[in-house]
Chain A
Amino acid sequence: MKPKTLWTLLFLGPPVALFAAIIAVPTVEAFRLSFTDANILGGATNWTGFDNFTEAFQDEHVRSSIRITLLWTLFGTVIPPALGLGVAVLLQNTTRFATIMKSLLFVPVAISLVVVAQVWIWIYQPDDGLLNQVLGLIGLERWENAWLADRSTALYAVFVSWAWQQTVLAMILYLAGLATIPAEYVEAAKVDGATKLQIYWKVVIPVLRPVTTVVLSLIAINSLRNFDLVYAMTGGGPVRETETMPVLVYRTLFRLHEQGEASAISIILFMITLVIVGGFMWWGRRGRYAD
């Protein structure tokens, strides 16, 4: 063997083996299990074809979790990126003070979703939560609510706390992206008599397209994987009103012990992820002639 081939094997071998053992092979195994009636408690495992999938699509809980996850991803890829871009545009100042303020604003991204869950539970508390207190102060007592216990508001309440964090993530990326836009682009547009709005719409946002691709892909992935926050805030309740697909997979696996069914749901989630995130990446690549 040539030394170069040997070295290639040495460099690639250990990390690729790790990846294969923990990610690649288990992913294939999940596909296989999704066609069986495997049970975590043991017992004979039978090949059941597409039964798990047809059952999944007929099960109201699975359908509801798909709906919740898609809704979450839709809101997630619209609201935090838009707000994040807006805030980033307003915060482009480079004074010392602005820089310090910006670093402080980054803190929500550094903290765990478990911590986010905790503080927002306190904000939404029915009796002395911050939200109800503020509503009371400004004379809107009748809007006060048990936000996380009310079936009609729980999902949106959890989403707001999530958007609070993801907006900062989008903002950070857009701030970095804005800093890379050459000043000449904007100057040229100004010389041509473009209004500020036109400059943003026609120059800044198109130039930011690669950053937007990263933001959307990242937030879509985060949305589709959303487990930690929901599980810590509501556990999927009230009455499974906030049960996202990842929470349902966890429940199916560890409460109902059904590996086959859990695998099938997780594979559906995988496929949805491929389509949505792949779509964003494809959209991002289409615009690359601009480079």
Chain B
Amino acid sequence: MLSFALPAALWLSLAVLPVILFYFLRMRFRKRPVGSNFIWRTLLASTRGGNRLRRRSLLLLALQVGAVAFAALAASVPFTRILAGSGPGVAFIVDTSASMGLPDGASGTGPTRLDTAKARVLAELDKIPAGSPVTVFACGSSVTRVWGPGASRDGARAAVASLRPGEDGFGEAEAASFLTGWLAAQDGSWRGILVTDGGVDLGGRALASAFGGRLTTLAVGGPGGGVSISGFRLSPADEASTSKALLNAWNGGERPASVTVRVSGNGAILASGGFDLAPGANRIALALPVSASADGWMAEIVGGAGPGSRRYLAVNEPEDISVLVVGKPDPFITASLSRRGITLTRLDAFPRNPKSGRWNVVIADGVAAPADFSGNLLAFGRPPLGSPVAVAGTADGPLVPADYLHPLSRFIEWGRGRVSGGTVLGVGPGVQVLATVDGRPSLVAWERDGFRYAVFGADPLHSDIGLSESFPVFIQNFLLWCVPRVDAQSSFTLTVGETASRAVPDSWRLEGGGSVRLGRSGGNVGIEPLRAGLYRWKDGEREGFLAANVPEGEFTAQPRTLAIGGGGSAPGFSRIPRVRPFGDLALLLFAACLIAEWFLWRGLPKERR
């Protein structure tokens, strides 16, 4: 039914009366004498009694009246309030994580959990009233809309049938964020039906919140009989034994299962052994004839199927963190950096080309970094030139923490630290204040172009800061903040669907095709494997492996209970009022009337019309 936000504006439509009056008055007053109407009457007779010419005149009047009426209609802001007879839309969120590919049932064979989920979705589709829009989302570590919104049930069925299990986990936070944005762009109300085996990392709360509580869960999967391995690692040889491959094995069945596990390194089979796995979790160890060296390793269940039957491990030579210290020798800084895994370089002044040394971190003590410097920088005393931080005065007093949640504040307690002869800093936007002296910033940090910067207004040598037990921890925090896990041997053993940041130089290249998504930011690169497997990387003369595994939690075959309730039935349907504005349409018609009248008034030749 048509309603109006400003019904008083409809009085404007009375303006059609003077338009009509003026039209006929003008016709009456504009009498033009002619010698004879003989030719005019002949003309009218040739145009079917002049009907066409008269119709054109009346059409002009109708257009004028229409323009006035539509203008009044537009001014009254019309809209319709209709009850959606088809009920709310239904969004199916189907879990397509790796666990949905497990066999569903104690036998360990037969249909997978995803097959069961598809059958449940198809059954629910039949219950939804015809005409109700339906959307199907496939959710793993990311969300893919595979159908809709649309009312076609055949399309939805085909989309559901095309679903395949992935190799990643269910990223509920990402799914909830995506669905919140999607729901905001939809008309009407939507209900969600989550079909999962319970492998939702946040327990379904975020998804329920995205749907405003209108989320129903359909749990699938019973105690499974599948066997999978996880936790693949190597133990080095010692005096008592050789190197071993260690694994966790899961037997989801109710009876013991016998499996053969095989371990290969760089493509060559190195060890194989049979194991009887009790129901539930098992630990297995396989002796290796070679030492656990840097290589690309794979453990697999012989004859196993699915991503849970293989695990990958990348072992690479650890790489030192390269640190450049610029400025006067400071024993506290030197002591904090004197450990394995750190290569220290000392210079009195900034090199002309700071990138020449491929330093992961630069520490400037009393020396201002040049304005064109880009890299991870920890500066004591003097902020870098061209930065959003400037010296704003002297500081003398205890250092008071201001931000406990920042990575640089981890395990830091400046309680006994006192700044003497230091500086306080003036900060611009985007700079976080980590500690203050007399309420003014003295330790600040910020990020720019992917690089991380920190400025400390204290001189470690001439204050209590260097003596504080937190100082070496602060230095380590800064190194970890800037250079994530580059020193670990297995730092390139990653999980499918999860992005890991690693400090690698620009020359680092991965041979993975489209199976790994890379995104560089500053000195680090974000690595998100899309499929499980072993991949090779190169960095100049150096080579290594990158391993990507299916998330381990995906293979505990027992379905989990979600934090939110699972009804297992189709949601109720109610008639939802929907508002549809017509103001723009009225304005469009108003403009169309004016344009048509203008063309008609111009009397374009027939050929052009």
Interaction A to B: no
Interface residues of A, Cβ cutoff 8 Å to B: none
